C-alpha cells in the first residue's frame, strides 16, 4: 500500500513537472513572439536536458508513462465535436480522416526509422 501511494505521488509529481515545462516554454515562446508552438519548444528543451544529462531519464519515467497511458483522454473533445457537427461524417469527414491517417502513418514511420537508426548507432558504439 505504501509503495502504491509512493508510486502515485511520484507519477503525479513527474507529470506536473512535464506539464510545467510545457507551460513555461509556451509562455516563453509567446513572450518572445517566436513562430513555433510552445510544445515544440518544450520538447526541444526537454531533449536538450536529457541529452546533456542535466536531467536523468529516470526523473520523468513514471510521469511520461502515466501521461502516455491516459493519452486517449486528450481526444475526448474531438469525439464530442463529431456529435455537434454531423457534416464531418460526409465527404468532408472522409478528407479529414485521410489526412489524419496519412499523418499518423507518417509519424509512425518516422518514429520507427528514428528508433531503428538509434539502435543501430548504439549497437555500433557498444561493440
User: Which tens digits make up the pLDDT trace of 42-94?
Assistant: 889 998 998 898 888 888 888 888 888 877 776 666 667 777 777 777 888 88
Nearest residue to 11 (alpha-carbon basis) of 72, 71, 59, 74:
59
The Cα 41–Cα 51 span in angstroms is: 15
Give the DSSP H or E segment for 48.
helix 38-52
SS3 (DSSP) at 90: coil
Please tell me which residue, 2 or 29, carries the higher pLDDT value: 29
Q: Are 13 and 2 in contact (CB under 8 A)?
A: no
Please tell me which residue, 71 or 13, carries the higher pLDDT value: 13
- Sign of the alpha-carbon dihedral angle for 51, 55, 57, 61: negative
Per-residue pLDDT tens digits for 14-28? 888 888 988 999 999
DSSP for residue 91:
H
Q: Are 21 and 42 in contact (CB under 8 A)?
A: yes
The Cα 109–Cα 22 span in angstroms is: 25
- pLDDT the model gives residue 75: 66
Please tell me which residue, 111 or 37, carries the higher pLDDT value: 111
Amino acid at each position: 500500500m505504501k509503495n502504491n501511494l509512493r508510486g502515485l505521488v511520484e507519477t503525479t509529481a513527474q507529470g506536473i513537472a512535464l506539464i510545467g515545462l510545457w507551460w513555461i516554454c509556451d509562455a516563453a515562446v509567446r513572450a518572445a513572439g517566436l513562430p513555433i508552438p510552445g510544445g515544440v519548444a518544450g520538447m526541444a528543451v526537454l531533449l536538450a536536458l536529457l541529452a546533456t544529462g542535466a536531467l536523468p531519464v529516470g526523473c520523468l519515467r513514471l510521469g511520461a508513462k502515466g501521461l502516455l497511458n491516459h493519452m486517449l483522454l486528450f481526444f475526448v473533445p474531438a469525439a464530442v465535436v463529431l456529435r455537434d457537427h454531423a457534416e464531418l461524417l460526409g465527404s468532408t469527414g472522409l478528407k479529414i480522416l485521410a489526412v489524419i491517417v496519412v499523418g499518423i502513418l507518417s509519424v509512425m514511420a518516422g518514429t520507427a526509422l528514428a528508433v531503428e537508426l538509434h539502435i543501430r548507432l548504439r549497437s555500433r558504439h557498444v561493440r
